[in-house]
Amino acid sequence: TNALLDVRDLTFSFRTYAGEVQAVRGVSFTLEKGRSLGLVGESGCGKSVTAKSIIRLNPEKPKGLYKKGEVLFNGRDLLKISDREMQKVRAQEIRMIFQDPMTSLNPTMTIGKQIVEGIVKYGDKTKEEAKKIALDTLALAGIPSPEDRFKQYPHEFSGGMRQRAMIALAMAVNPKLLIADEPTTALDVTIQAQILDLIKDIQKQYDTSIIMITHDLGVVANIADNIAVMYAGKIMEYGAAEDIFAHPSHPYTWGVLQSIPPEDTSNREPLHPILGSPPDLFKPPAGCPFAARCPYAMKACTQLYPRAYEQTGEGHWCSCWLYHPKALSAVNPITGQG
């Protein structure tokens, strides 16, 4: 295929004293070059663990276990390459950024030096070339006076600027894929919007593919080409962003959409939070994992895992028994249709 990333049946668990936590339970999706995927769900649904298992950032044996699956990146299975090769992929080809920029930034080194080292380490650039790229990337990341900022340490940057520096550090190596894990969650609304715009600009400029992880569907509305809604370690609904917003199909997606906080206030509390809590992933239910919280749950839901049913829109599917041809139809609370 043409896919840059082809994740197939990815299944990852953590081994603990209390038993095995089945964090990622058969996740599959593909990402084309230059396209973006929003991976959306509540905290604990497995979205960060999914991203980290793609680039092998989770603790591995004996604590973390890949049970099944493949992660084909340009056709090469990342689960099969050596640790050393994987380090190189993480340094050059797939970069991940986090909510807390200090996860990526080194407090003991100037911003300029870290960016230059990142470029030089596995590439064929000289320090002089790397310095020029670093300055250009800082400017591109919207950091004023890059020459001065180049010589400063991370603690000399404000929160929003530190976020930009982290993005510059990631983009300076021109990665093929950028994974952003809740990059704007800790920021206030205005800066959040600026950083999202920056990520969007950067994607165009570099033609980078993006996986954007968030609990807030609103965040990916303008960035993601496709959206995967995750729950209890599985993708519940997948489709083009416009189809997910126009015809959301899964009751969990309905809940997530109804809990989006209003745009125009600084109060980002959910409007209608989804009541209850997700299932215990030590022993995930055999049926639909959302059944205990779903207002539409039927008897079958607690017994059998629903198959994926096609929805309005190309490539749009949803795992829910409501779409069984013989099921009673529910009224979609978002579109008002039956």
255 sits in the region (left: phi over 0; alpha: psi -120 to 50; else beta) called alpha
Q: Rounded to an integer, what distance in angstroms lies between the CA atom of residue 178 and that of residue 6?
A: 15
**Token reading at 250:** 């899964």
Whether the link from the prior residue into 62 is cis, omega within 30° of 0, is: yes
Pick from ligand SF4, Mg ion, none: which does 48 bind, CB < 5 to 8 A by kind? Answer: Mg ion
Pick from ligand SF4, Mg ion, none: which does 301 bind, CB < 5 to 8 A by kind? Answer: ligand SF4
Pick 59 or 276: Cβ nearer ligand SF4: 276
Binding status of residue 296 toward ligand SF4 by CB under 6 A: yes
List, edge to edge, every strand of the sheet that includes 76-77.
Answer: 19-32, 3-16, 64-73, 76-77
As measured in angstroms, the least distance from the Cβ of 291 to ligand SF4 is 4
Binding status of residue 333 toward ligand SF4 by CB under 6 A: no
Binding status of residue 116 toward ligand SF4 by CB under 6 A: no
Which stretches of the chain bind Mg ion, using CB under 5 A?
Answer: 48
Binding status of residue 251 toward ligand SF4 by CB under 6 A: yes
- Binds ligand SF4 by CB under 6 A, chosen from 288, 309, 311, 317: 288
Pick 48 or 209: Cβ nearer Mg ion: 48
Pick from ligand SF4, Mg ion, none: which does 37 bind, CB < 5 to 8 A by kind? Answer: none
As measured in angstroms, the least distance from the Cβ of 25 to ligand SF4 is 15
**Token reading at 74:** 């340009």
Closest CA to 242 of 136, 313, 296: 313
- Binds ligand SF4 by CB under 6 A, chosen from 96, 130, 306, 309: 306
Binding status of residue 297 toward ligand SF4 by CB under 6 A: yes
Pick from ligand SF4, Mg ion, none: which does 160 bind, CB < 5 to 8 A by kind? Answer: none
Q: Which residue is nearest to Mg ion (CB)?
A: 48
Closest CA to 225 of 14, 28, 35, 31: 35
DSSP state of 58: S
- Binds ligand SF4 by CB under 6 A, chosen from 290, 309, 316, 317: 290
User: Length of the chain, please?
Assistant: 338
Q: Alpha helix (H) ranges present in 144-263?
A: 146-150, 159-171, 189-206, 217-220, 241-246, 251-258
Pick 153 or 305: Cβ nearer ligand SF4: 305
Pick from ligand SF4, Mg ion, none: which does 306 bind, CB < 5 to 8 A by kind? Answer: ligand SF4
Q: Rounded to an integer, what distance in angstroms lies between the CA atom of residue 123 and that of residue 119?
A: 6
Site string for ligand SF4, 147-186 (x = CB under 6 A): ----------------------------------------
As measured in angstroms, the least distance from the Cβ of 248 to ligand SF4 is 12
Q: Which residues contact 229 (CB under 8 A, 6 or more apart)?
A: 40, 41, 235, 236, 237, 238, 244, 250, 252, 253, 256
The answer to whether the CB of 163 falls within 8 A of the CB of 110 is no
Torsion on CA atoms 133, 136, 137, 140, rounded to nearest 10:
-160
As measured in angstroms, the least distance from the Cβ of 254 to ligand SF4 is 9
Pick 40 or 301: Cβ nearer ligand SF4: 301
Q: Which residues sit at the interface with ligand SF4, rule CB under 6 A?
A: 250-251, 288, 290-291, 294, 296-298, 301, 306, 320-322
